[in-house]
Structure 1
Amino acid sequence: MPIEQRMIKVNGVELSMESFGRPVDPAILLVHGAGHSLLAWEEGFVQRLVAEGRYVIRFDSRDAGLSTSYRAGAPSYGLRDLVADAAGLIDALGLSSAHVVGMSQGAAIGQLLALDHPGLVASLTLASSTPGGPGHEYPDLPQMSAKLQALFAEEAAGPDWADRTGVIEYLVEAERPFAAASRPFDESGMRTVATRVVHRTANIAAQLTNPYMIDAGEPWRSRLGRITAPTLVLHGTEDPLFPIEHGRALAKEIPGARFVAMAQTGHEVFPRAQWDTVVPAILEHTKAR
């Protein structure tokens, strides 16, 4: 269980956060992806980091979980605001810096945090990411899978947001196309997580809509060579959104970055089957230098 749960006000918004472990230990800030909340980081995963002497913080970004939300379809913030929120959270917690672990959109936030607030980033772990972040196209890297392209082209209508059961099923099916095709989709486990998400989220329509609409701002791929934080890049071998070449390119463009491929992993938060690979890699990356 978290040792602390509270709302922290930064940049005029309230962010819900939970912390685990001892504040005197090296701090790891977990930054979730678009459409997710702090629940994306399973407690079992967090506790494995805590057991090895890490102080772990997970939080809801804007429009996620219990944090400040906006009308669905009308987010009045951009990606740079989420970067400023992460920086503000580190400051508000009284931390001199934190080891930042971000997934997908959270990894884009991590890249910009390391570029624009380098003193706050002790190390950087980027999962399921692309050089320069989502929303920018680069012809030298492969496109998303044909299956995902067809799915996005359909523009299927969302669920009845007032129907919690329907939203839960919508969430389960929304995750299915992003999972690795080589292993069975954990429908039961995903439904359990989706149920927790729906019952905990203040504005589920905003969480599943707004993060995909925000402005990513100017591309920053050309700036990646300026990142000074020690960087670990983790990427699924079966990522259909950002094929693995995106992760390899990202690691090549950040000085000294280390790349680790996650077998039988799609565009998804670290599957439990990968924890024995991912946890030791993050622990090694975040140890005192």
Structure 2
Amino acid sequence: MPYAHNGDVSLYYEEYGPSDGPTLLMIEGYTAQLVGWEMGFVRKLNEQGIRTILMDNRDVGLSSQLGAPEQTGKCYSLADMAADVAAVASDAGAEQFHVMGESMGGMITQQVITDYADRVKSAIIMFTVPEYAAQWMASPESAESGSSEGLDYAETRDEAIDMFVSRERACHVGSAYVFNEDWARELGGITYDRCYRPDGWRRQNAAIADFRIDQDKLAAFDKPTAVIHGRKDPFFSPKAGEYIADLLGGELHLYSGMAHEVPEPLWDEFAGIIARTVAAGEDRD
């Protein structure tokens, strides 16, 4: 099992696709493990010739837990998590790489391209915000990481899976796409069996709480970019996606029926956007 190291933090990752293809780091969102990327979607990227690297962020999955169960306050920042991404890329032999993240992973992606601009060839940023602040939320009460729904400790595996499904369902509120409860329930079991540490989620939450990207540095990033956001996102307003795309001068893709999700009917279109962005980054060499 491959592990990268950022100081004392161990970071588990998996590689898929052609070993000689351009390397794309795929960064998951708040509380999510790398298994949250559906393999059908990952394979579509691999079929485009892209080498994909999926990683467990710190405090989830098989990567390091950064505290004891009672330690749920802030003990690291999203800049530290961006350094984790750079460490994984280095361990995978990619001095230059492309990066894509969703939700919290989109925040981390912004941090990566401001802190490691010389290493990043292109970026794809999915349903996220440039700052964790009320102005970018879909509604005052919609802050994703601010909600404790379904994040309490479960007494049993079945209870934990039920809570996982409820959190996934919340991401799909308002969506025009069918919520796949069977897959959500299966994924809940997989994530529980890999690592069940809700205290780690709280530490991620504390890292998100004061996130604010350096907008001048973000605007200075001059590589190919694409921003994907749903108009029905129940957490983050599409205004946030518009604002990030405007700062970057990149492509903006807004989907009228999409919530906080990567719906299967859009996989082909997303794969095309990502492959085009990656290819443009490769052409810059």
Corresponding letter in the other structure for 1:166:
E
Q: Per-residue displacement from partner, 1:45-95 (whole Å, max 9, x unpaired)?
A: 111111221111000010010100122424521111101111111122221
CA distance in 2, matches of 1:128, 1:217: 15
CA distance in 2, matches of 1:279, 1:150: 26
Q: Per-residue displacement from partner, 1:78-131 (whole Å, max 9, x unpaired)?
A: 11110111111112222121110111111111111111111211100000012x
Displacement of 1:36 in angstroms is 0.4
Name the SS for the 1:17 alignment partner: strand
Displacement of 1:218 in angstroms is 5.2
For 1:40-189, what aligned pairs fall within 5 Å after superposition? 40-69=36-65, 70-72=67-69, 73-74=72-73, 76-130=75-129, 132-133=130-131, 135-138=132-135, 141=136, 143-145=137-139, 148=142, 155=148, 158-181=151-174, 182-189=176-183
Displacement of 1:30 in angstroms is 0.2
Displacement of 1:221 in angstroms is 2.9
CA contact (8 A) 1:262 1:274 kept: no
Q: 1:219 to 1:46 in 2, by over 3 A?
A: closer
Name the SS for the 2:62 alignment partner: coil
CA distance in 1, matches of 2:153, 2:143: 24
| 1:199 counterpart residue number | 193
Q: 1:125 to 1:158 in 2, by over 3 A?
A: closer
Displacement of 1:180 in angstroms is 4.4
CA contact (8 A) 2:127 2:236 kept: yes
Name the SS for the 2:257 alignment partner: coil
CA distance in 1, matches of 2:95, 2:155: 42
Corresponding letter in the other structure for 1:129:
T
Corresponding letter in the other structure for 1:71:
A
CA contact (8 A) 1:99 1:286 kept: yes
Name the SS for the 1:87 alignment partner: helix
Aligned length: 276
| 2:218 counterpart residue number | 224
CA distance in 2, matches of 1:74, 1:145: 25
CA distance in 2, matches of 1:159, 1:114: 34
Q: 1:80 to 1:18 in 2, by over 3 A?
A: same
| 2:259 counterpart residue number | 266
Q: CA RMSD in A?
A: 2.3
Extract unaligned runs of 5+ from structure 1: none
Q: Per-residue displacement from partner, 1:127-162 (whole Å, max 9, x unpaired)?
A: 0012x24x2344xx5x32366369967x55744434
Corresponding letter in the other structure for 1:64:
V
CA contact (8 A) 2:114 2:214 kept: no
CA contact (8 A) 2:61 2:191 kept: yes
Q: 1:180 to 1:273 in 2, by over 3 A?
A: farther
For 1:208-219, what aligned pairs fall within 5 Å after superposition? 208-214=201-207, 216=210, 219=213
Corresponding letter in the other structure for 2:105:
G
Displacement of 1:232 in angstroms is 0.4
| 1:19 counterpart residue number | 15
CA contact (8 A) 1:161 1:204 kept: no
Q: Give the TM-score of the pair, scaled to structure 1.
A: 0.87
CA distance in 1, matches of 2:49, 2:145: 42
| 2:277 counterpart residue number | 285
CA distance in 2, matches of 1:252, 1:243: 15
CA distance in 2, matches of 1:110, 1:39: 18
Displacement of 1:198 in angstroms is 0.9
CA contact (8 A) 1:114 1:228 kept: no
CA distance in 2, matches of 1:10, 1:277: 34
CA distance in 1, matches of 2:15, 2:149: 37
Corresponding letter in the other structure for 1:144:
A
Corresponding letter in the other structure for 2:63:
S
CA contact (8 A) 1:160 1:166 kept: no
Displacement of 1:186 in angstroms is 2.1
Greater shift in the superposed pair: 172-181 or 27-36: 172-181
Which residue, 2, 6, 14 being the options, matches 2:2? 6
Displacement of 1:219 in angstroms is 4.4
Q: Give the TM-score of the pair, scaled to structure 2.
A: 0.88
